[in-house]
Amino acid sequence: MTTSDETPSLLPLFPLPDTVLFPGMPLPLHVFEPRYRKMVADALATHHTIGMTLLRPGWEEEYEGRPPIYPIGCSGVIARHERLEDGRYNLVLRARSRFRILAEHEGEPYRVAAVEGLPDRTGDAAALDGLRRRVLDTIARAADGPAALVLQGELPHDLLVNALCQSLSLPAVEKQSLLDCDTLEGRYARLAEILEFHILEKAAGTGTSVH
């Protein structure tokens, strides 16, 4: 059983190579593999919850099995779903909370794990406003920075930092490092460091743009 603010202790996992989900954020998904079609059907029949995790680099050769994944993911509730005639699904997940994988369990064609929920703590609340300004100023310094996001400075801190982490065009492993942060303060600070590094890379002509 689960409530609207709890992650089930036994969670189906949906590992992907390039997608990191952050608390409170929506995520559209197209599900076509048979094992994950069954996962969606089982979730819809029970707690409507899926655990999104990131595949570690080098997953390609083991994809049909159980390639290594990062231990921290984010659960999402199936907010909308459409089952297509051929059995595929279109979904929209609404992210709930971070979790840590404790152990994986056999018995299904898809991966299932025992997990523990991880709250997003605030950290030093007095530092959040300054960190928000630092992040938004860094985005504004980027020539191709997302002006629409910069204007959202009055959003609550958790929504703003998670929206930026999910929507900015950053490598998946960097997004994973942001999800790993246990506090909003830490996530803001880590995001600022990543963005500042990419700006330096771009200035040196060795990196790619962030947008």
**153-170 confidence digits (pLDDT tens):** 578 999 999 999 999 999
- pLDDT, one tens digit per residue, over 41-61 is 999 999 999 999 999 987 677
Instruction: Determine the Cα–Cα distance for residues 16 and 76; give it in Å rounded to an integer.
Output: 14
Which H or E run contains 37?
A: helix 34-45
Mean local confidence (pLDDT), 99-111: 94
Q: Kindly tell me if the per-residue pLDDT of 128 is higher than 80.
A: yes
Task: For domain 10-118, give the fold.
Answer: 2.30.130
**In the structure encoding, which two tokens stand for residue 40, read together?**
């969606």
Closest-CA residue to 188 (of 149, 151, 210, 162): 162
Query: Where exactly are the structural domains of the chain?
Result: 10-118, 125-204
Given pLDDT bands bounded at 50, 70 and 90, which one contains residue 148? very low
